[in-house]
Chains A and B, each alone.
Chain A
């Protein structure tokens, strides 16, 4: 029966661990779930930077007017990069009982595993994760502001058709390699469906473990398959590994990246000039038309660049937009009650202001929680930055061709 002693000690320890500082009653608390450790840390930092900048801008321009100028306070929680940890962190953060809304998680895998907790806690989550599954489960408390994974894939293939027509490319086979978590798999699904519809012959369709440390078996496969175009869907470390190994092994198909690793500044930091010319799909890019044509939104990306030293990456932009979107919803709900905010989110339509950072400049969530106006954009790395080149309604730059 000594176990009872342990249990008593345990409960005391718990009580101690639960002590948390009191916060100003006026602040509206928004949980920000980001990956601040593990392989996803670069993603997490970008997200946090964007979100914090948004919170500062909101608080600096008068706060939430409907609540008498109340300030937004971001409660930042590190969900690690381990999908099984995310629900526990979520549970712990939301249990303080003062959170009105949440933003997160960065990687689709983390979002998916935390959704049951979010739904149970009845706190609305605005997410930039792309997996199709997020909005397919009938959850009422999730709002996805970005394109779906399958749309990514489709856009990439359609872009290839666009290039093929424009530059008369002889393409016999195309190949897809994708990291095997929710993000890669969702995108790959879209790739495959669209490729088949467009009449391409698929020479390779292979998943790989994003945590792998050696890309040579994968690249050997790419080489053996003889594909002319490769669509890798990767995060940063694997994107870098794949590109550098391909160059080392002299395997040079046309590369149309699947976003994430191919679109974040880190890959330019590791590969330098070698990244120029590479295409990628993105769920948000800093120089799309809806941003460049509006002075207020334009200043956001310019200020980011000045402050953080690099062009505003996809995750930062989305998180900026998400915080503002939540703010607009709170304004509409005129309350900090999560249920009311959730209802506001489901009926809101945003066409102006910083929240409209998401292309094409209009946000409205459908009954499954998805932002039905958003679509992916294609970028090309030009001179160390990426430029939106497709589709026409968002493009601000021309494709640089041929790609060496």
Chain B
């Protein structure tokens, strides 16, 4: 690990700006709505994966109900836009605030639990929210969901006929999530979370405030997730309890983070690439209802990762192990 290959060194130096340039220029060079839409999908899931990572990867508290936070961001954004014409870039704020409050309360409620009890309670929490969203039809539209009419391009309302603006918005949001994750990774809180993940009791004995740190991590994670939920509402024009508060979404989010690499900054990006590309390929090959079968591959990857490389696929790549803080 000490020897530095000069080729690799310069590669590492020039790769990031080149990559950034490519990513920024893609929409201008590629007109296909489909490709842009797929890339937006990738950014979206990558951001969600990053957000989950804060509590699931760094703190090691497995949340199986993260879609609830997506819903908490998506519904206020959508409802404010639909009912009161409040644009999404304002409407998402109540969603994030709600997520912060709920995360605070939920954290204090469940972080006393360990392992499967914790995971189960997060699952139950998301399901409860989903059931309530379905039930209170008057407010939320129930299983009809909320459909936002497209009224033509409007920057104020964040509605665009073309994909490019959405691309840049989502890219920006992803960048923000990566930035936050990076800050945590290199901060004291990051160290504390890692300690908690490795051995909770030992960490407590060392004087680390378990509940304080865990709740903080959950709050950050929830806020970022809700932020992306708000984007989803503005981008997709349709939300319903099953798609934004369902178990499928929760599992996809955690798959992205775990397969990509828990506890790393860039891992979820890789995980999202794999997830979205496989989904598209499987849609193309199988079409329709069997398209979900692409999850077979993720499941196999997940099982392999869990059994042989709990750090995620990123550890398989040369130099990937360096993404982790030295222990």
Residues of A bordering B, CB below 8 Å: 1-7, 9-11, 13-14, 16-18, 36-38, 41, 77-85, 87-89, 91-92, 95, 109, 112-113, 115-117, 119-120, 133, 137-139, 180-182, 185, 207, 209
> Considering only CB atoms, which chain A residue lies closest to B19 in the complex?
A4
Q: Is the CB of B145 within 8 A of A113?
A: yes
* Residues of B close to A180: CB separation below 8 A: 134, 137, 142-144
Bound Cα distance from A10 to B23, whole angstroms? 13
Q: Is the CB of A13 within 8 A of B33?
A: no
Q: Is the CB of B283 within 8 A of A3?
A: no
Q: Is the CB of B151 within 8 A of A138?
A: yes
The answer, yes or no, to whether B308 is at the interface (CB within 8 Å) is: no
Q: Is the CB of B273 within 8 A of A3?
A: yes
* Residues of B close to A185: CB separation below 8 A: 137, 142, 144
**Provided the pairs A18-B34, A95-B33, A95-B34 are in contact, do residues A209 and B42 lie with their beta carbons within 8 angstroms?**
no
Residues of B bordering A, CB below 8 Å: 12, 15-16, 19, 23, 32-35, 37-38, 42, 134, 137, 142-145, 147-151, 161, 236-238, 240, 242-243, 260, 266-267, 269-270, 273-274, 276-277, 280-281, 283-284, 287-291, 314, 317, 319-320, 323
**Provided the pairs A37-B290, A38-B289, A180-B137 are in contact, do residues A2 and B240 lie with their beta carbons within 8 angstroms?**
no
Known: A2-B320, A14-B35, A181-B143. 11 other contacts (CB 8 A): A6-B270, A6-B274, A18-B35, A41-B289, A83-B238, A84-B236, A85-B291, A87-B238, A180-B143, A181-B144, A209-B134
* Residues of B close to A115: CB separation below 8 A: 147, 149-150
Q: Is the CB of A6 within 8 A of B281?
A: no
Task: Provide 19 A-B residue pairs closer than 8 Å at the C-beta atoms, listed in order of the A residue.
Answer: A3-B267, A9-B277, A10-B276, A13-B277, A13-B281, A17-B280, A37-B290, A78-B289, A79-B288, A87-B236, A91-B37, A92-B34, A113-B145, A115-B149, A138-B149, A180-B137, A180-B142, A181-B143, A209-B134
Contact of B314 among A2, A10, A109 (CB under 8 A): A2
Distance in angstroms from B144 CB to nearest chain A CB is 5
* Residues of A close to B151: CB separation below 8 A: 138
> Considering only CB atoms, which chain B residue lies closest to A3 in the complex?
B269
Q: Is the CB of A3 within 8 A of B34?
A: no
* Residues of B close to A92: CB separation below 8 A: 34, 283
Q: Is the CB of B149 within 8 A of A120?
A: no
> Considering only CB atoms, which chain B residue lies closest to A40 in the complex?
B289
Bound Cα distance from A82 to B290, whole angstroms? 12
Bound Cα distance from A150 to B134, whole angstroms? 22
* Residues of B close to A3: CB separation below 8 A: 260, 266-267, 269-270, 273
> Considering only CB atoms, which chain A residue lies closest to B288 in the complex?
A78
* Residues of B close to A87: CB separation below 8 A: 236-238
Q: Is the CB of A14 within 8 A of B38?
A: yes
Q: Is the CB of A83 within 8 A of B145?
A: yes
Q: Is the CB of B19 within 8 A of A80?
A: no
Q: Is the CB of B273 within 8 A of A6?
A: yes
Q: Is the CB of B34 within 8 A of A2?
A: no
Q: Is the CB of B142 within 8 A of A113?
A: no
* Residues of A close to B270: CB separation below 8 A: 2-3, 5-6
* Residues of A close to B15: CB separation below 8 A: 1, 4
**Provided the pairs A37-B288, A112-B238 are in contact, do residues A5 and B317 lie with their beta carbons within 8 angstroms?**
yes
Distance in angstroms from A365 CB to nearest chain B CB is 19
Q: Is the CB of A116 within 8 A of B12?
A: no
Bound Cα distance from A5 to B314, whole angstroms? 11
Distance in angstroms from B140 CB to nearest chain A CB is 12
Bound Cα distance from A78 to B290, whole angstroms? 10
Q: Is the CB of A10 within 8 A of B42?
A: yes
> Considering only CB atoms, which chain A residue lies closest to B33 in the complex?
A95
**Provided the pairs A17-B281, A37-B288 are in contact, do residues A84 and B238 lie with their beta carbons within 8 angstroms?**
yes
* Residues of A close to B38: CB separation below 8 A: 14
* Residues of B close to A18: CB separation below 8 A: 32, 34-35
> Considering only CB atoms, which chain A residue lies closest to B153 in the complex?
A120
**Provided the pairs A14-B38, A84-B242 are in contact, do residues A120 and B150 lie with their beta carbons within 8 angstroms?**
yes
Bound Cα distance from A16 to B277, whole angstroms? 11
* Residues of A close to B238: CB separation below 8 A: 83-84, 87, 112-113, 116
* Residues of A close to B267: CB separation below 8 A: 3
* Residues of A close to B260: CB separation below 8 A: 3
* Residues of A close to B314: CB separation below 8 A: 2
Top 6 closest pairs, chain A to chain B, by CB: A37-B289, A78-B288, A84-B243, A3-B269, A116-B237, A6-B273
Distance in angstroms from B58 CB to nearest chain A CB is 18
* Residues of B close to A16: CB separation below 8 A: 281
Contact of A2 among B32, B33, B317 (CB under 8 A): B317
Q: Is the CB of B161 within 8 A of A120?
A: yes
Q: Is the CB of A91 within 8 A of B142?
A: no
Q: Is the CB of B289 within 8 A of A182?
A: no
> Considering only CB atoms, which chain A residue lies closest to B239 in the complex?
A84
Distance in angstroms from B277 CB to nearest chain A CB is 4
Bound Cα distance from A381 to B38, whole angstroms? 48
* Residues of A close to B273: CB separation below 8 A: 3, 6-7, 9-10
* Residues of A close to B281: CB separation below 8 A: 13, 16-17
Bound Cα distance from A304 to B288, whole angstroms? 26
> Considering only CB atoms, which chain B residue lies closest to A38 in the complex?
B289
Distance in angstroms from B175 CB to nearest chain A CB is 13
Bound Cα distance from A139 to B147, whole angstroms? 13
